A = this chain, B = another copy of it.
Amino acid sequence: MVSIKDIAKKAGVSISTVSYALNGSPKVTEETSAKILAIAKDLNYIPNASARNLKKRETKVIGVYLTDFSGAFYGQLLQGILESLSRNDYGLIVCSGEHSHRYLPERMIDGAIVLDSTFSSDELLTYAERGHKIVILDRQIEHPNINQVLLDNKAGATLAIDHIVEKGHTKLYVVTGPEDSFDSMQRLHAVRQAAKRYPHIEYTEIAGDFTKEAGERAAEQIMNEYDQIAAAFCLNDEMAIGMYNYLANTEYRAGEHIHIIGFDNLEVSHYTKPRLSTIDYSKRKWGALASEQLLKLIKGVPVENERIYVTLIEGESISEKKA
């Protein structure tokens, strides 16, 4: 491996001069600098990240943690993060799995964006306590080294319920997510509050887990006990898609017998027939904002927690209830 030592020898200068030249320091003359750069290129010199990181105590790389790699969910979010980091001359690595938990405490990355339920809040707090900077997208933890960028789940859930009610529906199912999902719990909480405001509505909860299969099972249950036109708020689009799948093999139709609304506005939701009504938010913006917050945290700039706003997408899966 060719190191600055080799360059120094060949150029007849000291390693410190080489280091300065390579880093574009104005301390070294044009002339020597040019010579050194030429030799470096000639020798195919590549700096060693470990050595630099060890010395500088920073890596200029941010890690994003995901529970797993499945789902079409993360693409835009990651793209938003990548763009934002690139603009600020930071690199990005996407991680999942147990092994990767080490990267933050072992200082392979300068900070982490977490959307990963395999991290316990305790673990996260421990890292924060050690001085590591973290932005969390899937729960709430108060610590000076932790910032959160959360969805406005309450607004989203309320929009969904209000929309259903406005359309004249009087029978409502809610299909929930897993209990360890912060987003699901927030949405459910808001739903219950909203439901209280509409006492005339027959309200039922069905336990789900954010998977298509859960949506299918929920649809099955609903159709088995079908006695009138019903509305269903699936706490994510994935489960709503599951409902469509189940319905496809029945006589019942979405937006007719059962009116469905989801949450997330996944790309596939654009292509369902009828178009799924859902709650939308900019995943790209979410990622960009999370990155910005993290970089500020690293720079020591004070930050407030941020919120991602949501909007209602009116598809055809929720329509006016006709007796």
Contacts and interface: CB of A to CB of B under 8 A. Distances in A.
Contact of A100 (B91, B102, B108): B91
Contacts of A53: 50
Interface string A97-132: 111101101111000000000000000000000100
Interface string A248-278: 1000000000000000000010010100000
Contacts of A86: 97-99
Contact of A50 (B46, B54, B99, B248): B54
B100 A93 contact: yes
A23 to B, nearest CB: 15
Contacts of A85: 99
Nearest to A270: B245
A144 interface: no
A71 B70 CA distance: 11
Nearest to A91: B99
A280 to B, nearest CB: 17
A136 interface: no
Interface residue tally on A, bucketed by range: 35 or more
B96 A95 contact: no
A140 interface: no
B82 A46 contact: no
A79 B70 contact: yes
A309 interface: no
Contacts of A105: 46
Interface string A58-82: 0101010000111110111011001
A109 to B, nearest CB: 9
A140 B68 CA distance: 30
A248 B51 CA distance: 58
Contacts of A78: 69, 96
A51 B49 contact: no
Contact of A97 (B49, B82, B268): B82
A221 interface: no
A141 interface: no
A50 B115 CA distance: 25
A305 interface: no
A47 interface: yes
Nearest to A126: B44
A46 B100 contact: no
Contacts of A61: 108
A200 to B, nearest CB: 35
Interface of A: 44, 46-51, 53-54, 59, 61, 63, 68-72, 74-76, 78-79, 82, 85-86, 89-100, 102-103, 105-108, 130, 241, 244-245, 248, 268, 271, 273
Given A50-B59, A70-B76, A86-B99, 11 more contacts: A47-B106, A50-B107, A50-B108, A69-B75, A78-B96, A82-B96, A92-B99, A92-B100, A93-B95, A108-B108, A268-B268
15 contacts: A49-B108, A51-B54, A68-B75, A69-B75, A69-B76, A69-B82, A70-B75, A70-B76, A85-B99, A86-B99, A89-B99, A91-B97, A92-B97, A93-B95, A94-B94
